[in-house]
């Protein structure tokens, strides 16, 4: 006999979960808002009703205790009179004891507020890597606030968009497995750029395409410098329980730091200077039946030590990480449990749709934990 459970919202006892969305006018933020609107009926089947009570971007903020229409938020943020930012931060703290904050920015200032929000009992859902990969003081403050209040910080999309990477590593840790080493492609942007230049595109054109496709970070220099991949490696390793900071990851950038200096909007023009260099590198690799990947590597060293690095590297053309399609991510992991053959997780690892879908799933998951038990009726069907 199999038992299917089906939970749905008991509308006679409506008790919506309040949501504040920061970065609501960005690429991911807007798509998350669309999903909140379009998938309301599906969420209701899971026992969840989401009510957006606050929204902000870097220039404006909105608050409405009774709820904001998701489809109107971006336009309302773009026009009209808004609450000053300081007032918004203060108002959030008193808005609702059941608040879930969705951080869809790439802002360090917003990540720095996580301890205060978590300490106030709010859940946080985010694709922003700057909280989970923060340096020790902020990381410790986040961990302390979480353990004190027991609230949720769901950030499964910070690595691999919607791929089941963090959850899987978390389960390996819960199971007491010992991870010995892994190699991975963690940057969807660099996977796309290197994939395209090995299909004949110039480097500068490939970066332009990655930006147009929505794979690149708000500041693409973070991808090209390897910082994005290094932060993802930190998040993976912290998920496995390692005490690691960004500075512990050896990092070789894809593009020389001098070329990336200055946020003056001329990055793509500057990149043209290395188009020929990368054409030559690709030609040499092809002659040797090799391919360029931007590889993240972890291996234990000594009794308690480890080595973690990210770098552009040439691998044999038949290496599993060399066979990824542009934009795909992959992780190949060896552990005590996966000693006979490695655990491999691979698939598209960036993009607005996949990331927003993952953020939305994290939001519904967080909200579901907040729905009072009496509000969810569970139908049990025997088959
Ligand atoms: N694209 C992907 O494939 C992908 C994959 C995984 C994770 N992510 C992550 O998703 C997040 C969002 O990326 P995105 O591509 O949507 O970025 P985006 O289009 O640049 O949007 C960023 C949003 O954040 C807002 N913002 C920036 N600083 C803020 C501040 N201090 N206070 C309030 N709002 C602020 C921006 O407002 P303004 O418009 O006013 O500047 C904008 O609404 C990033 O953390 C990124 O790393 C993206």
Predicted local confidence at residue 153, as pLDDT = 97
**Residues near 233 by beta carbon (within 8 Å), at least 6 away in sequence:** 184, 186, 249, 296, 298, 308, 310
CB under 6 Å to ligand 1: residues? 22-23, 25-29, 56-59, 104-107, 109-110, 127-129, 157, 161, 188, 214-215, 217-218, 350-352, 355
- Mean pLDDT score of the chain, rounded to an integer? 91
pLDDT (average), residues 103-119: 97
Is it the case that residue 71 has pLDDT exceeding 50? yes
Predicted local confidence at residue 199, as pLDDT = 96
- End-to-end, the C-alpha distance of the chain in Å comes to 6
Q: Other CB atoms closer than 10 Å to residue 322's CB: what's the count?
A: 21
Residue 176 in contact with residue 149, Cβ under 8 Å? Answer: no
The span from the CA of 189 to the CA of 206, in Å, is 9
Tokens of 118: 């978590």
Predicted local confidence at residue 266, as pLDDT = 85
Atom of ligand 1 nearest to the CA of 110: 31
Atom of ligand 1 nearest to the CA of 189: 3
Q: Whose CA is nearest to atom 44 of ligand 1?
A: 106
Predicted local confidence at residue 97, as pLDDT = 86
Lowest mean pLDDT among 105-114, 178-187, 192-201, 364-373: 364-373
Q: Determine whether 270 is an active site residue.
A: no
pLDDT (average), residues 207-212: 95
Percent of the chain with pLDDT over 90: 82
Q: How far is the CA of 256 from the centre of ligand 1 (A)?
A: 25
Over the stretch 284-311, which tens digit does the pLDDT of each residue have? 999 999 999 999 999 999 878 999 999 9
The span from the CA of 320 to the CA of 293, in Å, is 11
Over the stretch 145-198, which tens digit does the pLDDT of each residue have? 999 999 999 999 999 999 999 999 999 999 999 999 999 999 999 999 999 999
Is it the case that residue 382 has pLDDT exceeding 50? no
Is it the case that residue 218 has pLDDT exceeding 60? yes
Is it the case that residue 4 has pLDDT exceeding 70? no
Q: What pTM was estimated for this model as a whole?
A: 0.93
- Mutation to probe ligand 1, out of 20, 24, 27 (largest number of atoms < 8 A from CB): 27
Q: How far is the CA of 24 from the centre of ligand 1 (A)?
A: 8
Over the stretch 17-28, which tens digit does the pLDDT of each residue have? 999 999 999 999
Q: Which of 366, 246, 357, 371 is nearest to 308 (CA)?
A: 246
């Amino acid at each position: 006999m199999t038992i299917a459970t089906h939970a749905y919202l008991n509308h006679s006892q409506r008790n919506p979960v309040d949501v504040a969305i920061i970065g609501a006018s960005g690429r991911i933020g807007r798509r998350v808002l669309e999903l909140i609107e379009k998938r309301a009926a599906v969420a209701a089947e899971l026992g969840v009703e989401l009510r957006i009570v606050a929204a902000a971007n870097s220039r404006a903020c909105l608050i409405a205790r009774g709820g904001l229409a998701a489809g109107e938020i971006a336009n309302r943020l773009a026009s009209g009179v808004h609450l000053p930012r300081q007032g918004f931060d203060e108002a959030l703290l008193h808005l609702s004891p059941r608040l879930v904050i969705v951080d869809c920015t790439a802002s360090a200032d917003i990540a720095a507020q996580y301890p205060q929000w978590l300490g106030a009992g709010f859940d946080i859902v985010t694709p922003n890597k700057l909280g989970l990969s923060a340096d020790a003081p902020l990381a410790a403050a986040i961990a302390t606030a979480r353990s004190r209040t027991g609230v949720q910080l769901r950030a499964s999309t910070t690595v691999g968009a919607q791929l089941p990477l963090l959850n899987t590593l978390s389960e390996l840790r819960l199971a007491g497995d010992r991870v010995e080493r892994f190699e991975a492609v963690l940057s969807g942007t660099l996977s796309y750029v290197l994939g395209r230049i090995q299909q004949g595109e110039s480097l500068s054109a490939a970066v332009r395409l990655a930006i147009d496709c929505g794979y690149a970070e708000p500041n693409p220099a973070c991808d090209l410098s390897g910082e994005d991949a290094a932060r993802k490696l930190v998040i993976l390793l912290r998920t496995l329980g390692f005490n690691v900071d960004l500075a512990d990851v050896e990092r070789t950038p894809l593009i020389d730091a001098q070329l990336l200096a200055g946020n003056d909007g001329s990055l793509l023009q500057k990149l043209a200077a290395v188009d020929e260099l990368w054409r030559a590198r690709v030609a040499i690799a092809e002659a040797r039946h090799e391919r360029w990947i931007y590889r993240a590597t972890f291996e234990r060293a000594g009794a308690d030590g480890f080595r973690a690095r990210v770098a552009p590297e040439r691998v044999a053309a038949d290496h599993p990480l060399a066979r990824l399609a542009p934009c795909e991510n992959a992780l190949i992991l060896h552990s005590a449990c996966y000693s006979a053959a490695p655990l491999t997780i691979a698939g598209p690892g960036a993009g607005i749709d996949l990331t927003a879908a993952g953020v939305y799933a994290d939001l519904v998951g967080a909200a579901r934990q907040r729905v009072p038990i009496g509000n969810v009726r569970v139908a049990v069907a025997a088959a």
